[in-house]
Amino acid sequence: MVPLARREQPLRILFVTSEMAPFSKTGGLGDVSGALPRQLLAAGEDVRVLVPWYGRPDSAQLRHRADLWLPFSGERVEILSPMDHPQWLFLRHPDYERPGSPYQNPAGEDWPDNAERFARLCRAAAEIAQGRVPELSWQAELVHANDWQTGLVPYLLELEARIGAARPRTLLTIHNLAYQGRFDPAVLERLHLPVADFHPQGTELYGSFSFLKAGLVYADHLSTVSPTYAREIQRPEFGMGLDGLLRARSGALSGILNGIDSEQWNPAADPYLPAHYSADDLQGKATCKARLQQELGLFPDPHVPLLGMISRLVEQKGSDLVLALAPELLKRGLQLVVLGSGERLLEQRLRELGATHRGQMAARIGFDEALSHRIEAGADMFLMPSRFEPCGLNQMYSLRYGTVPIVQETGGLADTVHDVDGPMAQLGNGFVFHPAQVDALRAAILRAERYFRRTALWHELQRRGMSEDHSWRSAALAYRDLYRSLL
């Protein structure tokens, strides 16, 4: 990690999130929360990260920092920190330590008390931010909240300001507008929140109470995770019912492209890979492909294009488009590997397709960090046919690993992947298609296959992507500038 230039007076930032890699992760939010605060700390900023503790075998390595009794509910929560990272503040309560994901049970159903679980996180954040936890001896100048699970934080701090309390400035980042934290209005009484703000200009969203809308209305500034997505969500087709509010707040809305952890995702040193390689020496990538084919039971052939996809198996990600096209691609002799989980029907169809086309296709349902690295290294092309994509990280991992991305033109995909045959061909690093339909995806894959058959041209395309800098450095600089402007 290349440190940013330091400043004499560090900013005191409380970063509040519902997940943080490597401790908890369901998607891009976990990656961002694990990387951005680290980069800011390396720059000398005074950052604290507050995240629920969902339980891990190494919990003995945590130390007790404070007991906190939350206002209104009066319940006790515990604040823990890793021995080697006192800046990470884990909020411990029995309701977080459950099987399944942070948000759903093992059957894929939302926990019925999610409103209470994440209101607890928001209440604790407000107490810490205001310096009301004596054991921490710390108070925030700015609170950076993330997604609906922390949307109440700006609202809670606004409620304090109404009664004359000074409060830190607030920023809410939208990682995915589709998830809005909507609950029955009866939850207001249980959460001790004022009914007076439950109206269309406040916390009400089409008859429900929305954590996300509360944050969008009351945060001092809003951001999202790519410039294109910041524009898209102000249009009805991407605004998820909130486009009017976002247009009204467009002057307080920024789009900052996410980065990737260039140390964790580095094909020259990745511990998960059987061989290492770089833009200067691609030989190890061929070894990675051969070993991936062996590991997944695919026919060992270096000349067959191997397509990879690592994704949540939901309609947003275009998983249905890949399923519809897969039999035709496999008939052409291409190979396909898919890693992910999501809708049960899509999981079942992938399993059936993999069983029918052994040697050509492998479907692994679930999440496997090590395998995800090996797919990024071993695949020739990476599929991201998302109908919408706020930022996306896998296309940037793919570029770094010389695995040419094939993406639908939306959000952060449009900001990072430029078509080799498009108007920015001199910057071409992948294949872009539009609209999100099977015919358009097919055409993009066939174009990629033609390039793949021209070895010298393909290697040039790989090296171009690998030479780009998608690290967190530029994103962290942009966030730090935004923080300063808010203060």
3-state secondary structure of 181: coil
Q: Strand 88-92 vs strand 182-183: parallel, antiparallel, or unpaired?
A: unpaired
Give the separation between CA 276 and CA 285, rounded to whole angstroms: 7
Q: pLDDT digits over 29-51, tens only?
A: 998 999 999 999 999 999 999 99
Q: Which amino acid is at 174?
A: I
The packing angle between helices 344-356 and 319-331, to 10°, is 10
Query: For position 438, what pLDDT does the model report?
Result: 98
Structure tokens given for 217 = 């209305």
* Positions of the chain with pLDDT under 50: 1-3, 6-7
Q: pLDDT digits over 79-137, tens only?
A: 999 998 999 999 999 999 999 899 999 888 999 999 999 999 999 999 999 999 999 99
Q: How many residues does the chain have?
A: 487
Strands (E), 241-286: 253-255
Q: Which among 214, 176, 184, 379 has a CA at the least distance from the CA of 288?
A: 379
Query: For position 22, what pLDDT does the model report?
Result: 87
pTM, rounded to two decimals: 0.91
Query: For position 57, what pLDDT does the model report?
Result: 64
3-state secondary structure of 81: strand
Asked whether 448 and 432 are in contact (CB, 8 A), the reply is: no
Structure tokens given for 262 = 């260039």
What is the b/e burial string over 291-327, where b = at least 16 CB atoms within 10 angstroms of the residue's CB?
bbbeebebeeeeebbbbbbbbbbbeebbbbbbbebbe
Structure tokens given for 147 = 């997604």
